[in-house]
Amino acid sequence: MAHDIRVAVIGTGYIAHTMIAAIGHVSGMQVVGVCSRTAERARMVADSLGVATAYGTLDAVLADPAVDMVYIGNSTADHADVAIRALEAGKAVLGEKPFAVDVREAERVAAAARRTGKLFMEAVATPFLPAVRVALDQAASGGLGTVRHLSASFGYPASATSHPGLYAEAGGGVLLDRAIYLVTLARLALGPIEHSRATITRDAAGIDTEAALLLTHAGGATSQLAASLTTLLGNSMTISGDRGAVTVSAPLLSAEQVMAETAGLPERPAASAGTRNALKERPLVRRLASLARLRKNRFVPFGRSPYVPELEHFRDLYRAGAQESPVLPLQLSLDVMRVLDAARDDRR
């Protein structure tokens, strides 16, 4: 039997801790090392999490033949450079979103992945959640009819004190941290994006804190997206077609509930207009009518951690010798980054 995929985690912050715990729930993967900017910090985190090896430099990670892949979870501004170096060292790479801070960096990472032939995937966990997969599959299968619209939001208040990385001059902002999830889902559900418009709110330091995006997809479907660092939004997603709609309930990033609704043509009622109006005035009748709507609710759990489905997908790709994910291929990640770049520059 092949050995477990040996993972070195780059970074020792919140997301690195989260992913180390999640990898512990995935059969066939094992965290063998943790890398930080200092050997002392790396050793402290490794000891606290039961990881064998602590690396004080990236060079030490990349030179270690006992490391098969790296998960990049350090500072956003460093994601691209670390990914390129790891790929060139022969390691597979799962790079936390955003895998770059702009299109120029993203293209460099993609070129390195294609040149080396090593597996690379941007770590956007949401598309792999079983509940989200149900919604995307319904849209793709024709169950909603002709899909025409997607609406989604991701926002809750986070201050510079509680989440300093979100407000960093390099790699911070709502577009790279939150809108990226929504644009990725829109691109997956409705296809290539032909045009985008954005309304961006910035704080006194120039960091984008609110974003409203309107995307037009090939074929004419549209997406309306809202992301925020300062406001509590609905944190859900609805995909709509001419035969029905499917909603992934909040919280979108760890969703486990899907609600489907069929849009049937109304039948001509037998009762007179006067009788119908009289019935509509009765709250109990309206309640019963709402319960009779063609709704289906499903609870679709993700398991021990919302990151496990994404990690299992990457594990299977690695075992198969793949270079890209069919769910999140390099081109899709590049497409999303182009939309985010355009939104950042949209001054309307």
Q: What is the pLDDT of residues 20-72, one digit of tens each?
A: 999 999 999 999 999 999 999 999 999 999 999 999 999 999 999 999 999 99
Non-local CB neighbours of 119 within 8 Å, separated by 6+ positions: 69, 92, 93, 113, 314, 317, 318, 322, 323, 324
pLDDT in the model for residue 289: 62
- Which of 309, 183, 178, 193 is closest to 235 using CA atoms? 178
CATH number, domain with residue 270: 3.30.360.10
Per the domain annotation, does 167 fall within a domain? Answer: yes
Q: Other C-beta atoms within 10 Å of 286: how many?
A: 12
pLDDT in the model for residue 286: 65
Relative to beta strand 244-248, strand 237-241 is antiparallel
User: Which domain covers residue 23, as residue numbers?
Assistant: 5-123+307-334
pLDDT in the model for residue 340: 98
Name which residue leads in pLDDT, 270 or 229.
229
The string of pLDDT tens digits covering residues 200-249 is: 999 999 999 999 999 999 999 999 999 999 999 999 999 999 999 999 99
Characterize 209-221 residue by residue with b for buried, 16 or more Cβ atoms within 10 angstroms of its Cβ, and e for exposed: bbbbbebebeeeb
Per the domain annotation, does 342 fall within a domain? Answer: no
Whether 59 and 141 map to the same domain: the answer is: no
Whether 194 and 249 map to the same domain: the answer is: yes
Name which residue leads in pLDDT, 278 or 169.
169
pLDDT in the model for residue 320: 97
pLDDT in the model for residue 1: 47
Per the domain annotation, does 326 fall within a domain? Answer: yes
Per the domain annotation, does 341 fall within a domain? Answer: no
- The band of 297, judged by pLDDT with boundaries at 50, 70 and 90, is confident
Counted domains in the chain? 2
Token representation of residue 62:
């990349």
pLDDT in the model for residue 271: 55
Lowest-confidence pick of 91-95, 119-123, 293-297, 337-341: 293-297
Per the domain annotation, does 36 fall within a domain? Answer: yes
**Which pTM was predicted?**
0.91
pLDDT in the model for residue 276: 64
Q: How many residues does the chain have?
A: 348
Mean pLDDT of the chain: 93
pLDDT in the model for residue 285: 65
pLDDT in the model for residue 61: 98
